[in-house]
Each structure stands twice: as C-alpha cells, then as structure tokens.
Chains A and B, each alone.
Chain A
Amino acid sequence: MISFMLNGTKVVSTARANEPLLNVLRNEFHLSGVKCGCNEGECGACAVILDGRLANSCMVALGSIQGSKVITIEGYRTTERFTVLDMAYASVGAVQCGFCIPGMILASECILAKNPNPTRAEIQAGISGNLCRCTGYNAIVAAIGIAAKEGQGLW
C-alpha cells in the first residue's frame, strides 16, 4: 500500500507498485482530468505536478511516490493561480479540443513557479513536452505570457 498526498489530502492506494500513476489517478481516484494521450511519456496530456515539478504520470510507477505530493488539474483548479491562467487562456481562445489542456495548465504553472517573468523561449521550452495538435501553440504561449503579466505577485 502506497500513501501519498493527492491534491492536498493524504490517500492510500491499493494498486500494485508497478502500476503507472496515470492509471491509479484515473481508475482508482477517478481524476479524469488527467488524460492519456500516448502512455509512453511522449505527449504530456497526463502531466501532474509531482513534488513541485511537472511529471508525466504515465512514466511514474506508483511505488516510487510513497510520501510524495501529487497535484492534478482537479486540485490545481481551486487555486488563485489557476484563475489567472484560466482567464488568460480564455482571453486568447487557447483551448480548442481541450485534450492537451489540463497538462498544459500544469506545465504553465511550473513555468511561472520557476520564473514569474519568462521569455517567449522559456515558455516554449516549458511546454515543449506537451503536444498540442489544435492550436499551433501560439495562443497557449501568448496565454502564459498574459498570465505572467496579470498574475504579478502570485508567482
């Protein structure tokens, strides 16, 4: 049995230690905001924040996160920072099909947490593991820039 902090609450999972965290989150904890786009680490749709850093949950075996902190979109969406990103994304219409978006939002958070005033290149690098087939990335990059401006002091 593995216990970890999930969106601020201590949880215990009965899944096997070799089970990908992605499956645990979706199947056991019903966090369907964590998406599966590839199951091979290649798309970022399953990204979560693991101990403060972005991680593709399909690449994380449950057994490796005993005592760790995991934040998914379901936890993050209750934060003030989320509200800023939400408005920024909305203002440029950065959400199309939406499948990449939960991962993209968490990637955005990690970019800003590390650097509240990122350059365009830093934003691009920060989301480079989050594939988006719909937007051409422009609007997403712009939205993160807007959030950086609007969220002064939050990050």
Chain B
Amino acid sequence: MVNGYQARSLQEALDILSSEAVIPYSGGTDLMKKANGNATYLFLNKVPEMKNIREDRKYIRIGAGCTFTEIIESELTPAILKEAAALVAAPAIRNLGTVGGNICNGSPKADCALIFFVTDSKLRLVSKKGERVIPISEFYLGRNHTILQKDELLVEIFMNKTGFENYCYKKVGARKALTMSRVSFAAILNMADGKITQCMIAFGAVGEVILRRKEIDDMLIGRTIPEARAVKENYLAAYEQAINPVQGRISAEYKKTVCMNLLGDFLDSKGI
C-alpha cells in the first residue's frame, strides 16, 4: 500500500511504528482535516485489541480505537462518557472519530478527554519495548503536545467502574450540534456518611490543557455540606485564580464567566 500500512493486530502496528516513519491513524477525523498528501498513515481502525470495551476486576477498559458511537452504544461505559460522546460533532463524525484520537490530538477542547480527566482515568501506552499505565493528567505537556513517544500507541483507557453517577456535564458550543466546545465543564461529587468523599472538577477549552486541579478540589474532601459551605468562598477564589483562558476568537472573559457560573451552580445544586 502506498502511503499507508494497514495493521491487523497490535503487534503488527507496533512493529511498523517502530520501524517506519508513519502517523497513527485511528478515526482520521483530525488528520484528514489537515489533509496532507505526503503523509504515510498507520491505519489502526481495524486493530482488534484497540476496539474492545471490557471490564476487568478494577476497571472498565476502553480500546483507544472505539468510536464515539461505540462508546454511546456500549453497555459498559458510564453515562457521563456517553453524554459527552453524544455531543461530539454529528453522527457522520461520531461513527469515525475515536476516543483515542480525542486524547492523542492534544486538544484542550476534546470532549471525551475532559471526561477521562474528571474521572481520573488512566492511559495504557504500549510500544514494542513495553508498556506503561499513566494517569491522564500526566499525559499532556501542552496544546498538541503529549508525552507519547514516537514508537508508542495509546491502546486503552482505564476508567474506574463506579463512582461517576452523580455527575454534571455541560458543553457550551456555538450551536447545538456540530460544534467544538467553547467551554466544557464536568463535575462529580460523592458523599459517604454525610461527608464529601470525592469532588472532581474539570474544565475544557480554557487553557493549553484541560484544567483539572485536584489540590483545589481537595479543599472540600472530608467535609460535611455545611463545612464545605464555609470554605466555598476560598474554593471559588482558588478556581477564579486557576482559570485563565487565553484570548482567542472567543473572549477570555466569556469563557471564564461561564466556568465560574457553572461551577457555582454545581455547588449550589449540592447545597454548598
């Protein structure tokens, strides 16, 4: 095949990747947008190891090559991920684009990547030399810039099996479909014995990388609702400081206002 290699297995894909100058091609919806007649692609869309969605003892394991549609149709994927996937573009893109591509493109606007961030999901990166599993928060170095090595593929995403039911997700785009996020927001708050056990917040499209600040969210952990209310002002102030959208075609002021509004509303909805 000129200008392309079709991998039939992960092993084959890794072999080609380690020996040829190729660009991994998953769903192609980012790559084809910047059509490059000289590119040599390594087609991953028929690699079975990257197309599974399964459960092991600890995790839901999502193949990086699963399309948004497959995420939506799966019985294993959590609602928060399904909701985000369903708001990506439109059917003819959701049938092609994959969660792996969504993560690897390095965009802070990527809708499913936001969900993997807020759920503290892990990424399984594999090369011919071996593999590593890292938290998604360590994956990004900047816009379009990740720690992925040239010979490495993202093969699976590991999500915890439970704990994401009490979520809030909001994508704000220019219109109701076929739109990139101008701001996106995901939040999860869990309580046990009257105390907050988990508070996870993430914002998309407001910086170089999706914004997820555990240390701020930790301010609420272990507190009762009234106690959380008492630190609410500090908590919000910390986010106020952390969120510094870059001025682009969409004003930074707009983005920040929306972020703070959504965060405030989320806390309100929990009585905080």
Spell out A's residues near B (CB within 8 Å). Answer: 1-2, 16-20, 39-42, 44, 47, 50, 53-56, 58-64, 66, 107, 110, 125-126, 128-131
Contact = CB atoms under 8 A, between A and B. Distances in A.
A53 B73 CA distance: 13
Interface residues of B, number: 33
Given A44-B92, A64-B45, 20 more contacts: A1-B1, A16-B2, A17-B41, A41-B89, A42-B178, A47-B92, A53-B91, A54-B95, A56-B93, A59-B29, A59-B92, A59-B96, A60-B96, A61-B28, A61-B31, A63-B1, A63-B3, A63-B41, A66-B43, A125-B91
Interface string B188-209: 0000000000000000000000
Contacts of A20: 32, 35
Contacts of A53: 69, 91, 95
Interface in B98-115: none
B162 interface: no
A89 B25 CA distance: 37
A43 B38 CA distance: 25
Contacts of A110: 91
B3 A16 contact: yes
Contacts of B33: 40-41, 59
Interface string B81-101: 000000001111101100000
Interface of B: 1-6, 25, 28-29, 31-33, 35-41, 43, 45-46, 69, 89-93, 95-96, 176-178
B91 A107 contact: yes
A98 to B, nearest CB: 19
B149 to A, nearest CB: 23
A62 B91 CA distance: 20
Q: Quick one: which of A61, A62, A107 has the most chain B CB within 10 A?
A: A61
A55 B35 CA distance: 17
Contacts of A41: 29, 32-33, 89, 92-93
Contacts of B69: 53
Given A59-B33, A63-B41, A128 B91 contact: yes
A80 to B, nearest CB: 23
Nearest to B26: A64
Contacts of B1: 1-2, 17, 63
Those 6 A-B pairs whose CB atoms lie nearest each other, nearest first: A129-B90, A17-B4, A63-B4, A128-B177, A53-B95, A16-B3
